[in-house]
Amino acid sequence: MTILVTGGAGFIGSNFVYMLLEERPDSKTICVDELTYAANIHTLNDAMSYDNFVFYKEDIRNREGINEIFGKEHPDVVVNFAAESHVDRSIENPAIFLETNIIGTAVLMDACRKYGIERFHQVSTDEVYGDLPLDRPDLFFREDTPIHTSSPYSTSKASADLLAVAYHRTYGLPVTISRCSNNYGPFQFPEKLIPLMINNAINDKPLPVYGEGMNVRDWLYVKDHCYGILAVLEKGKAGEVYNLGGHNEKANIEVVRIILSELGKPETLITYVTDRKGHDQRYAIDPSKAMTELGWAPTTMFRDGIKLTIQWYKDHMDWMQECTSGDYLKYYEKMYGNRQ
């Protein structure tokens, strides 16, 4: 079995690559990644020493380059993680989100049609459902919840989902989609809430909390997400959508306080800043379809996963420094410099 993973030098994709190398040693894993700002090639250092791992630096929007890789490797399964993934960046510059997340997905699916595959899996997000009100804890996202997006990012992901469903219906492409809640764990780029707050706290810098910090996210440890995708690949049905999440809802301020407490840093570092435009209130997944039909269930509770994650960043400050040198400083100044 040859499995082509796009976006494998990013956060979730790299965790997925390592899971495959460990859990499916008889498979060949091909990683295709353009190496944008969000990637760190050193993340794949260990993977590069495996004989059954191959890396291609390629842009999923480049039809010719993608077709060449498919022609050479003939993947049986394609898992598409490659994306522009940060909501705040999509508010600043939507265009690249449309290009990578929509056009890039179409290029991959066209290659799948041309060369033939057993499965194309689109890694999607719970953000395609929009948000839930804070005062209705009884409501959850189900697979039949209507698509109702808020940001350019979530709209680009929803567009890719619709295109994947259309390729299944029109061309019979064996497509599956998983929609997951917020991930956390090793190798996450420090523009996202948890690694950004860990990095700032370690360096005694202010922790910028948007609005009043009451927005709720449903946290899933990244390894649980990877096993969920594997379950969809091996037990899921073509044409189906599966929600992945673990009922770990937390208000942002609660997460920030836990990080400070774990690191022994004072709450005076918390700084309330201007809210995100169009900020989604609450995400909460109902994962019962994946649990019942795939036998999948997350195994890491937030209280354990956050400790593992903080320890990982403390042990890998060199990795963090590689990410935060260069353009990161410009990004940080632009996004947070004037945010009172």
Known catalytic residues? Answer: 126-127, 153
The piece of 30-38, 161-169, 287-295, 319-327 that touches ligand NAD (CB under 6 A) is 30-38
The piece of 35-43, 255-263, 272-280, 285-293 that touches ligand NAD (CB under 6 A) is 35-43
The piece of 6-14, 71-79, 268-276, 314-322 that touches ligand NAD (CB under 6 A) is 6-14
Q: How far is CA 189 from the centre of its chain?
A: 11
- Residue 292 CB-density burial (10 A; 0-12 exposed, 13-18 middle, 19+ buried): exposed
**Of these, 75, 104, 186, 245, which contacts ligand NAD (CB under 6 A)?**
104
Kindly write out the interface string for residues 229-258 of this chain, putting x where it contacts ligand DAU by CB under 6 A and - elsewhere. -----------------------x------
Say whether 243 sits in a helix, a strand or coil.
strand
CA distances from 252 to 60, 147, 194, 289 (A): 33, 24, 9, 27
Which residues neighbour 339 within 8 Å (Cβ) at sequence distance 6 or greater?
A: 208, 273, 274
**176 near 229, Cβ under 8 Å?**
no
Kindly write out the interface string for residues 38-57 of this chain, putting x where it contacts ligand NAD by CB under 6 A and - elsewhere. xx------------------
CA distance 55 to 10: 13
Which residues neighbour 267 within 8 Å (Cβ) at sequence distance 6 or greater?
A: 257, 260
Partner whose binding site includes residue 196, from ligand DAU, ligand NAD, none (CB under 5 to 8 Å by kind) = ligand DAU
Count of beta carbons in the 10 Å neighbourhood of residue 148: 11
280 binds ligand NAD (CB under 6 A): no
Q: Using CB atoms, what's the residue nearest to ligand DAU?
A: 125
Partner whose binding site includes residue 215, from ligand NAD, ligand DAU, none (CB under 5 to 8 Å by kind) = ligand DAU
Partner whose binding site includes residue 312, from ligand NAD, ligand DAU, none (CB under 5 to 8 Å by kind) = none
CA distance 224 to 240: 20
List interacting residues with ligand NAD (CB under 6 A).
6-7, 9-13, 33-36, 38-39, 59-61, 81-85, 100, 104, 123, 125, 157, 180, 182-183, 189
